[in-house]
Amino acid sequence: MKTKEEINKLYEEKKYREIVEAVDIQLLWNIRKKDRDEIMLTVAWSYHQLGEYDKSIPIMRDLANIYGTSSKIGEQAWRGWAHGVLQQDGDINLADEIMKLLPPSPERDNVRMNFFLIAARKGAAISASEIMTAITNALAAVPYKTVDGHIINNGAFALHEAREQEGVKPYLPILPALMFSAIGIYRATDTAKNHLAGVTFRASQICEAAGWKKLARIEAETSVGLWRKLVSSQGGERYQQNLKGAEAQLGKLTQ
């Protein structure tokens, strides 16, 4: 089995499938507990990155029940648990309870933006001021990290999804610029291509809503190109569905 250092290197290289296939759970019991739990945390995040939340959530939850949020393992496990339940079930109530236990950080802000995004899709009222505070902090966080792009991307799209809410409407004119900021941060930080494909798709939708049809079409074309490359290189039903959505968006804009 690979060492903790080798697994961490694979994670940095975004080789998530290699990680989950390389770790033998039975052999982990032969190493010291802290190393074992750190490896399992990396496995859980790898499943999360692959979109296999049914596998990531149980690991995150088990680790969260062992470690408090003041420890590195615990903070990541609790945060990963909240992320997972939002993505898998859209359980905003459980995620909200978990987030109350997390210390302030950009990573927590990112979970919070996902929370607002899903809440908006459910028709719940969202806090535009809290979203804009997190986005403003992310924009000022030079040198940028990928999480800063996530905060801007998810926060801006949450506002887009809640665009009919009165408290959100004053912010709608700046949403295209915010999405282009997120795209720039993703490119600067060499973010995984599925995130770049996703943010350009969202940018297309936001530009369309703003009446910027030419830019909307350009971003849709970019998204389709990126998703096609991902499907051809990695395949999987998850990316196929994303590609179909981007192609439908492009088709609508070229009619």
pLDDT at 35: 84
Task: Locate the DSSP E strands across 15-92.
Answer: none
Residue 226 in any domain: the answer is: no
Q: What is the pLDDT of residue 236?
A: 62
Going from the C-alpha of 172 to that of each of 112, 158, 190, 254, the distances in angstroms are: 20, 11, 28, 24
Per-residue pLDDT tens for 226-245?
999 999 886 566 789 999 99
Between helix 193-209 and helix 146-161 the angle, nearest 10°, is 30
pTM recorded for the entire structure: 0.88
Q: Which of 161, 172, 51 is nearest to 113 (CA)?
A: 161
Is residue 166 situated within a structural domain? no
16 lies in some domain: yes
Q: What angle do CA 196, 52, 180 make, to 5 degrees?
A: 15
CATH number at residue 34: 1.25.40
* Angle in degrees, CA 53, 56, 61, rounded to 5: 115
H/E stretch holding 173: none
Query: In the block, which residue shows the tokens 């969260």?
Result: 64
Distance CA 219, CA 229 (A): 16
Q: What is the pLDDT of residue 177?
A: 98
In a domain, 37, yes or no: yes
pLDDT, residue 33, reads 83
In a domain, 23, yes or no: yes
Task: Tell me how many domains the chain contains.
Answer: 1
Q: What integer is the mean pLDDT of 198-220?
A: 98
pLDDT > 90? residue 32 = no
* Residue at 83: amino acid letter: H
pLDDT (tens digit per residue) in 83-138: 999 999 899 999 999 999 999 999 999 999 999 999 999 999 999 999 999 999 99
The dihedrals phi and psi of 13, each to the nearest 5 degrees, come to -85, 5
> What is the torsion angle, in degrees rounded to the nearest 10, for the CA atoms of residue 135, residue 140, residue 143 and residue 148?
0
Helix (H, G, I), strand (E, B) or coil at 228: helix
Q: Is residue 199 part of a domain?
A: no
Per-residue pLDDT of 71-81, as tens digits, reads 999 999 999 99
Cα distance between the two ends of the chain: 54
Return the pLDDT at 34.
Answer: 83
Q: Do residues 171 and 152 make contact, with C-beta atoms less than 8 angstroms apart?
A: no
The string of DSSP letters for 123-151 reads: T----HHHHHHHHHHHHT-SSP-HHHHHH
List all residues 6 or more positions away from 74 whose beta carbon is below 8 Å from its beta carbon: 63, 64, 66, 67, 68
Structural domain harbouring 37: 1-103
